[in-house]
Amino acid sequence: MHDPPRLVCVRTVAAVAWLLLSADAGKGATSPIGVTAAARALQPGELVVLTLTIPAGLDHVHVSAFGRAIPAAEVEPRTWRALVGIDLDVPPGKQTVSIRARSGGNEVETAYDVVVKPHQFATRRLQVDEAMVNPPAAMLARIRAEAAELGRLWARSSAEPLWTGPFVRPVPDEANSVFGTRSIFNGERRSPHSGTDFLSPAGTPIKAPNGGRVVLVRNLYFTGNTLVIDHGLGLLSLFAHLSAFAVGEGDVVSTGQVVGNVGATGRVTGPHLHWAVRANGSRVDALSLLAVLGQ
pLDDT for 240 equals 96
- One domain for residues 110 and 90: yes
- One domain for residues 91 and 26: yes
- One domain for residues 157 and 207: yes
The CATH code of the domain that includes 77 is 2.60.40.1930
Q: Are 29 and 55 in contact (CB under 8 A)?
A: yes
Residue 1, in any domain of the structure: no
Pairing between strand 72-76 and 68-70?
unpaired
The CATH code of the domain that includes 147 is 2.70.70.10
- pLDDT band at residue 181 under the 50/70/90 scheme: low
- One domain for residues 143 and 219: yes
Checking 151-158 for CB contacts under 8 A at 24+ apart, the result is: 153/215, 153/216, 153/228, 153/230, 153/236, 154/236, 154/278, 154/281, 155/281, 156/215, 156/230, 157/230, 157/231, 157/232, 157/233, 157/234, 157/235, 157/236, 157/278, 157/280, 158/213, 158/230, 158/232, 158/233
Q: Which of 116, 145, 163 is the C-terminal boundary of a domain?
A: 116
- β-sheet bridge partners, residue 245: 260
- pLDDT band at residue 222 under the 50/70/90 scheme: confident
Among 1-15, 107-121, 212-226, which stretch is predicted with the lowest mean pLDDT? 1-15
Residue 12, in any domain of the structure: no
- pLDDT band at residue 94 under the 50/70/90 scheme: very high
Q: Which of 116, 142, 177 is the C-terminal boundary of a domain?
A: 116
- One domain for residues 148 and 206: yes
Q: How many domains does the chain have?
A: 2
- One domain for residues 67 and 148: no
Q: Provide the domain limits for residue 66.
A: 19-116
Spatial CA neighbour of 279 closest among 45, 5, 118? 45
DSSP state of 30: S
CA 155 to chain centre: 12
User: What pTM does this model have?
Assistant: 0.82
- One domain for residues 80 and 128: no
Dump pLDDT digits (tens) for 25-78: 333 334 488 988 899 999 999 999 999 999 888 889 999 999 999 999 999 999
Spatial CA neighbour of 150 closest among 87, 71, 34, 238? 238
- One domain for residues 38 and 100: yes
- One domain for residues 139 and 277: yes
- One domain for residues 144 and 278: yes
Q: Which of 63, 94, 116 is the C-terminal boundary of a domain?
A: 116
